[in-house]
Every structure is written in C-alpha cells, then in structure tokens.
Amino acid sequence: MLLRPRAGDLKVIGLYTGRIILGVGLLMAVPLATALVAAEWGPAIDFVIGMCACLAFGLLAEIGCRTSREPTWTHGLVVAGFSWLAATAIGAIPHWLSGHYGSYLDAMFDLMSGYTTTGLILIQDLDHVSHALNMWRHLLTYAGGQGIIVIALTFLVGGASGAYPLYVGEGKDERLLPNVIRTARAIWLVSLVYLAVGTPILWLIAVANGQSAARGFLHALWIFMAAWSTGGFAPQSYNTYYYHSLPFELATVIIFVAGSLNFALHWAVWTGRRGEIRRNIETLSFTVTIAIAMLVTTAGLMKLGVYPDFLASLRKMFYQVASGHTTTGFATIYSRSFVRQWGPLAMLGITLAMAVGGSACSTAGGFKGIRMGLVFKGLVLGVRRALSPERAHVVVKWHHLRTRVLDESTVFSAMLVVICYVAIYALGTLVGVLCGYPLTEALFDAVSAGSNSGLSCGVTSPAMPALLKAVYLLSMWAGRLEFMSVFALGGYLISIVRGR
Amino acid sequence: MRSITILVCMLAAAFSCSAQTAETPSPGSTALVEDAKDWDGRTVSFTGEAIGEAMRRGNMAWIHLNDDAYGLAQGAEAGLFGFNSGIGVWVDARLASRIALFGDYTRHGDVVEVTGIFHAACPLHGGDMDIHADSLRIMRGGYEVAWPIDRSRLIAAGVMVALTAFLFLVRAILRRRGKKDP
C-alpha cells in the first residue's frame, strides 16, 4: 500500500530544496562580479534578476517550510532529484535573458548540461557571448562536477545527521572523512587545489600559444573548470580545436583524466596511499576499457585513412577517446567530422568509451569503472563456479580502498545500474531515430547525453525537435543522479496522487 | 581620354576579379566540413568574420573566420541563426596583423577574405582541418557593438532586489521569534 506523504514530509523536501536553490543563487555572485568588472551592464542586470529569483525561491521555501525535522533517506533522494530540476528551471534565467537561446527549453538544456557536466550545447552565437555568461557556464559545470548538493552541504546545511541522505541522493556514496559535511568540504578542497595549480599551467601555455594575458587567463580558468569537472564546455564555438596546440591538449587530458578519478582515490593518494592507484578496481577497469576503445577507434581511422600519418591519427584518436571515456566532451575536430571523416567504426569506438565513462564519486558519468569491474569479476565468479566441483568454495576478490570478497548482491546492484544506463541510451536513440536521424548518429548523441559526455556528431543543435531536447535533458539528469533519486521522486509523485 | 582610361582600368580590374573568382572556388565552412575529402589539397577562397584573436606562433599566426550569418550579415547581433560555423586559418603573422578588430561580445570583427590551400587533415598541424592562407584581404571593417541597457529589465531587477530584501527580513524576524519561543 502506498502511503501519501504528510505535510511534514513536504516541508522537509521544500526546506532542503530551497537551501540548494539558495546555494545556486549565491554562486551567481561570481558571474555578476565578472559582469561588473568587465563593464557588461546588460548581463549584470540579467544576473541580478537570476540571482534574486534563486534567493527569493530559497527564502520563500525556508519561510513556508519551517521545520526542525531531519531528512530521512527517502527525503534525501527526493530532494536530490527535485532540486536538480528546480535549479535548472530557475538557474536558466540569465541564460534565457542573454538572448543567445531560441527558447526557454534550450536555456534549460544548457543549464542541465552544465550542472551534469555533460557539455552538449544549444547556445547560439557562442563566439559573441559576454564574459559574465561564459563565467556562469563554466562555473556551473565546475560546481555541478562536485554536485550542487555538495555546495549546499558545504555552506548552508547545518548539522551532519540529515546531510548523508542528500549526499547519497546526488550519486555519491563515498565518505572521505567520517563526517559527511567534512567530506563535502574535502571534495571542494581537492577541486580548489587542482584549480589553483591547473589554471596557471594552462595560462602559461595559452600565453605561449599567442593569446593575450587577459584572454589567456580567462580561457585557462574556464577550460580548467570544464576539464576538471569533465564538463566539456569551452568559451569559443570551436571548442579545444580553437587552440591548435599539442601542449594545451596534453594539459587538458591530464586535468580531465584526474577529474574523472574517484574523489576517494584522490584522497587516498593525498593521504599517502599511492599504491591504491595500481590496485584500485576502477583504475584497472579504466585502463582496459580505454585500451579497447582506442583499438576500435584506431582501426576505424586506419581503415578509412583519415589522417596523413600515424602520429596525427594517434593524436586525434587519443584526445577524442580520452575525452569521451572520461565523459568530458572536449573535441579537436568538428562535430560533423565524426560522421563525414571518421566513419561508423571509429564512432562506435567513441560511443563505447562514452557509454563506460569514468569513476564513481567523481565528476564523470557513464556506467563507471567500478561497475564495469564488478560485472566483469561477477562473470569470472560465475565461470569459475561452473568449472569447479560443486562443494568447492570459489572466492573472487576486488579492491577499492580495501580488499573485499565479491558477493552476488554487489554484482546485482552494479548490473542494475548498468541496465538503467543502457535503457536511457536506448530511449534517446529510439527517439532520435523516430525524429529522423540515422541510427549511428542518434546512438552517438543519445549515449553522449545519458553518460554526461558532451561529444556530438551534429544531432544536438538548436534546430533539433523539442521532444528530443527534452529526452536528452532528462537523460542527462537521470544519468548524473544514477537513477535512484529519479525513481524516488517518481515514486513520491505517484504516492502523492494515489497514496492513502 | 582620361575617363576612357579610368573605364578601361575599372573593366580590367573587374575582369581580373571575376577571373580569380572563377579560378578559385569559395566553399563555405559547411561544405568544407561535410565534403572535406573533395576539397582536400585544393586552393580555396574563404570569407568570414575574424573572431577571438590572432594567436601568433613565430612568424605565423592562427586566426579563425566565421562564415555564419552572425559573421557575414551586418547588424546580425539582433537575431539568432543557429550555431557559429567557420574554420581555422594558418597565415603569415604580418598578414594577420592587418585585422584590426576581432569579434567578441563588444565587437563585430573585420570580415576577411583569405586564399590558400585547404587541408582536411593538416600534416603540419596534427591532423587539424585548416586553410594555409597566402593572401588576406579586409573586405569590411569591424565595429563596436552597442548594448543599450534595457529599461524594463532594470525595473524588474529593482523589484526583484526589493522582494529578496523583504524576504530576508521576514526570515530574520521568524528566526528571532523561533529562538524566543522554543
């Protein structure tokens, strides 16, 4: 029997959702300051409106939903699911007011793409966008990489007891430290330290590449934010092809690969356990799957003889595959070049890489390395049991921070999430084909949206049907939250209507 | 006699231009990307708005020319016409320095015509799709873009600030009351 939620439950959800939107509003102070410094008065007004809308929503929620109750697991999951949608709807105001979007849905699409670190875009005339809007686009992808709930936990949510369900609801379940609020702060510490180191390195390369100091700094900061968060946004429509620079490509690869690793792995290495990199199931899984994706893509490129020499082929293949596998979405080729130059086999290699994705509890999307590792080890367990005598006790171990014995329930949980990802990839592909796109292209962009990758072969554009935009938007949301919060929100809505 | 000479010169110039146009095809960026193999290694003429900046590398420089509606239509900043499209051009830094304005939020860049060899996958630049230009001509000067402040938005912003301040006040009062009445 479904139980209808009581007013007290809705108050808890409203209160915490309000606090998260309040956090989004406070973040808008950064692009607002950018607009003021750059004397971009129009965008400054847009950000005042957007910021006040978020703050007003958050304050109204706090006033209307005053309660001293701590969120339960269900509340946490529902808040996570709902707050990402609300933050997208309200946070899109400055995007929409910028005049660079064909509809409010397009503005919301880009906002969801930013929060979820996807990187697919519908923004038009990106090459004439204000510094303030570019700052907001990249900041929201940087913040989204850590998680908008992590932001709220860091600054706004007092008391640790109710915080853990919110944290888990956002698709993270690693505790770096015993206290979840200290864990959220540790995640920010890791990200900010890398920002402080990575931005000057990119800045030096940008200046050496011929950019002015001021533009070079802004590009370095934005590209760092997009790389670390595996977001894939860039300040120019050419994406990272704009820089025509091997050192810049290498630096971004290092940053986005680091961003795609589990925060717990970063923490383990920071705290002196360097051997963890070699033993961790996710790094092992990442190494194997990226090697397979590279082989398939190289075979496709060599078959068609796309590049004049092996080194050029290797450079292009490596960048695109690494970008796809870490679900970053940076590209040094044109979107349509995937279709017109690379061909179906190389596209399949990239699609596979995007589908698998990076590590759990990182800024990356996709199935995640840990699940691929667990499913593979589950397969090994099954085969070994089948080949062993009936009374033999077969043990398979796996290592993630500590060594554990593999059991069926762990494999089952991993498999369930992988199936959910396959389902959203299939749904996006189906709707793409129904909208008239060829299967390979529909599959490529659908996997990109569902795995929060951001590479596109040209399907994603302002001209694509609104239905497909909506499906991709929901795929990005469900994929980023790893489904549980989405199911919980769906169940909650049903129980409001049909519960007793 | 003088007017005849001028007329002959103008006709000769017109013929030379049309001859150059007839010899050098001018595919758009969409055609270059979609049919890269067909255009690979051919000399092309390409016209577009210079955007971003010239990135100098020794004696050469990278520039980017957008041949989309924003780049080519004057006053196009008023409308939306889809994604930007253009191509990277590798050109002598002295030629690139002729470009006075590059397009960004506050400027519409110079519209530039380049002529050079198109590479579907450039062997010199790690497989990048580009044009190696040996001539560059400014077709139309760029200009500053004025963004007047929208009065209605300014009023809306004022109302939103007042509303937010009021809500902060209400919350502060309620919190104070909450502390007094445990």
- Going from N- to C-terminal start, the domains of chain A cover 7-177, 273-464
Q: d(Cα A118, Cα A324) in Å, to the nearest integer?
A: 11
pLDDT value for A178: 64
Which pair of structure tokens corresponds to residue B141?
């000067």
Whether pLDDT at B8 is above 80: no
Interface test with A, best of B83, B101, B152, B169 (most A CBs within 10 A): B83
* CB nearest to B157's CB, from A49, A126, A315: A49
Distance CA(A125)–CA(A110), nearest Å, equals 14
pLDDT at residue B47 tops 60:
yes
| CA–CA dist A125, A137 (Å, integer) | 14
Helices (H), A156-179: 163-169
Q: CA-CA distance, A330 to A346, in Å (whole number)?
A: 17
Highest mean pLDDT range out of A364-368, A400-404, A409-413, A443-447? A443-447
Length of chain B measured in residues: 182
B56: chain A residues, CB-CB within 8 Å: 210
Task: Check: CB of residue B45 under 8 Å from CB of residue B115.
Answer: yes
pLDDT, tens digit, 9 for 90 and up, residues B103-130:
999 999 999 999 999 999 999 999 999 9
For A461, which of B52, B53, B83 is closest by C-beta distance? B83
Tell me the chain B residues in contact with residue A36 when contact means C-beta distances shorter than 8 Å: none
**Whole-number pLDDT of residue B70:** 92
Asked if residue B33 lies in contact with residue B129, where contact means CB atoms within 8 angstroms, the answer is yes
- Residues A204-220 have pLDDT tens digits of 999 999 999 999 999 99
* pTM (whole model) above 0.90: yes
pLDDT at B14 over 80: no
Q: What is the pLDDT of residue A159?
A: 53
CB spacing of A45 vs B52 below 8 angstroms: no
End-to-end CA distance of chain B: 105
- Taking the CA of residue A2 and the nearest CA in chain B, the distance in Å comes to 34
Q: Answer whether A124 sits within 8 Å of B171, measured CB to CB.
A: no
Contacting residues of B for A341, CB less than 8 Å apart: 36-37, 120-121
